Structures are given as structure tokens and as C-alpha cells.
Amino acid sequence: MASSPSGLHAAFHRIWRRRGPAAWLLLPVSLLFGLLTGLRRRLYRAGLLRAERLPVPVLVVGNIFVGGTGKTPLTIWLAQRLRAAGFHPGVVSRGYGASLDGPRLVSADASPDEVGDEPLLIARHAGCPMAVGPARAAAGRALLAAHPDVDLLLLDDGLQHYALARDLEIILFDGRGAGNGWLLPAGPLREPLSRRRDVTVVNGGAAPGMPADAFGMELRGEWAVQLAPPHGRMRLSALAARAPALKIAAAAGIGNPERYFAMLEGQGLRFERMPLPDHYAFDDNPFGGSSADVILITEKDAVKCRHSDALRNDARLWFVPVEAVIDAALADYIVEKLRGFPTDRHPGLPDLQTPAGL
């Protein structure tokens, strides 16, 4: 049976829901954290810490709520929409979980140990070049050198990486909103809710404390794909109809497993929950002791399961691809913003004043 996320992790998430006694006890540490992070931002703003500016526009997709909010599907959606608008985007990411000592280009057939699980998903679905590395500016330079036609960069999960200058910032929240609204560790926020941004997106409907002009986003998954050959496909609604004759489990090694479970329940499925820590490595087999007939996993987890002999041939494993469903007005807004950027930062940059409309 899979192990649940640590009790400490779950305890903090309970604390962060409200401003209760435990949160008040941690508040002095949060105030110190806020002073230190605020000082760092001011040092970059004053130029005492250097932020490198690349020769193409940089659009950051990030969050201030610690953990997963759905940045990978949003990044994929943006890359696809910007390509449809006539741009040639590239994506840069940290490559969390990979062993990296410098920038590395990402190919769709790379190993998650080499580049990370989320970058592999982006590379396979976004249809654009991608690079990873702990220094995002260096990764961006490597990407531009290898792909000189790239005319803008999407920075996946780099909101607090101030060493790379950015032109647009998108902050993504989910249904948890801002929690109790306090900074770590008394609350779930890396930066204050009042932090400036160009766009706010909320994944999963209305959330407390979100601005009125926030764009809505939903993650939808209607199909399950079998991990083992012959890689069959099955509608989740059809699986739900067969559920009385099957024992179903669902596992998720993402930042907010409950969001994945709620999506499956929305398709009429009932199952045993198997939450896993975010970026779970699958060095062991968490399903070895499960008696389930069908185990639904996320596509992010499937990326790593494919590299395990024990898991990639387990016929019980089916992954559920999801896609972001977002108001097209968000892409229109981003394109409109891009129209105002100078065209002399990169000699190969097309005229951003008149990109093809969506």
C-alpha cells in the first residue's frame, strides 16, 4: 500500500486553513520570513542583486501558494495558444528532481531522472523547445542558442527566481485560494497576497480572496490510458459504469492530490485514495500490496512509472491525461501585452506589434 504524505505536511495544511492558535504561534517566524524575502526583492529592484535580461520577452507562470496549483497544464495551454497566434515559444524550467549541474535541452524521449517529470510532460504536449537548469537564465541562453527561431520564453514555476528578469507574470491559485493569507510557516504563502502580478488565474472555480478580474481555469480528464501494452483507452464514464464489478484505486504524486481525486469523482468514480508525496520517485512499487483491479494514476506519475520494469507492465495501471480549459480571453490578453514589447532585443524577433490573432 502506498504511503501517505508525511504527517507534518498534512498538519501544516490544516494549520494554513485558518488563523488558529497554531498559526498565531508561528506568526513571528512568518514575520521574519517576510522581512528576509522582502529585502531580497528590494535588492533586486535596486540593482544590488543582478537580474539577467534575455533578448526575448519572458513570461513567468508561478504561484505564491506553496505546492502544486496546476502550473504545468497552464504552461502547456499557453505554449499551444501562443504557437497558434504565430509565436515561437520556448519553455524553461528548474527540472525539479533531476540531477543537473547546468542547462540541459529536453527531448520527449528523455528520462525523468535527467530532466524531471513535469518538463517531460511539457516537452511532449506543448510542441515547442524546452530547456531545464537550476540557473534559469543559463537554461534560457542555451535554449535560444539551440533554437534561434524562439521569440519568447515561458518560465515554468520561476516566480521567485528573480535572477532572471521577466516581462509578464501570471500567478496561479487553486480552490484553496490564499489559505489563511499569512506567509510561511504560519500560512501557505511564499510572498504576500498583495504581490504585484499581471494576471491572476484560479484553477478550479471561485476561491476566497481572489481579485474580481481573475481568469478561471479547469482541469478536465475524460479518458484513461493503460500504461502497459497494448495501451488501451477507456472513458472514465465507462469505467464508472463498470465500477460495481471492480475494485478501483486512485493514486497521485502531485502537490494537491485532492484536486485529482475530485476530478475523478466528478466523472462518477468511487475509489480508494492513495495520495503520494509530490514528485514521488517510484524507486519502489507503492502498488505491490494493493488488491485493486484498476489503479488510476496521473500522467505526471506515469512518466516515471514507464521507467520501472515492475510498473510499466502492470496491467492495472491507467493514467488520466488532463488538459486546461481556460477562457480564450486570457490568451488574447497576453498577446495584447506582447504587442507593446520592443523588437530590438533580439535580431531574430518578429514584429510583435502585429502578431496573428487567435
Binding residues for ATP: 65-72
C-alpha cell at 247: 475494485
Verify cis geometry, omega within 30 degrees of 0, for the bond prior to 185: yes
Burial of 217 (0-12, 13-18, 19+ CB in 10 A): buried
**Residues forming beta bridges with residue 323, ordered by sequence position:** 220
Place of cell 499569512: 182
For residues 96 and 106, give the distance between their C-alpha atoms in angstroms, rounded to a whole number. Answer: 13
Phi, psi at residue 92, to the nearest 5°? -125, 135
For residues 214 and 336, give the distance between their C-alpha atoms in angstroms, rounded to a whole number. Answer: 17
- Which residues line the annotated binding site? 65-72
Across 260-275, b (16+ Cβ under 10 Å) vs e yields bbebbeebebebeebb
For residues 287 and 244, give the distance between their C-alpha atoms in angstroms, rounded to a whole number. Answer: 21
Verify cis geometry, omega within 30 degrees of 0, for the bond prior to 73: no
Phi, psi at residue 250, to the nearest 5°? -135, 130
DSSP H or E segment with residue 199: strand 199-203
Alpha helices, DSSP H, located in 156-281 = 236-242, 257-266
What is the DSSP code string of 167-194?
SEEEEEEETTTTTTSPBTTTSSBSS-TT
Question: What's the CA angle centered on 337, arms 331 and 339, to 5 degrees?
Answer: 105
Contacts of 201 by beta carbon, 8 Å cutoff, 6+ apart: 74, 170, 171, 172, 173, 214, 215, 216, 217, 326, 330
For residues 355 and 82, give the distance between their C-alpha atoms in angstroms, rounded to a whole number. Answer: 10
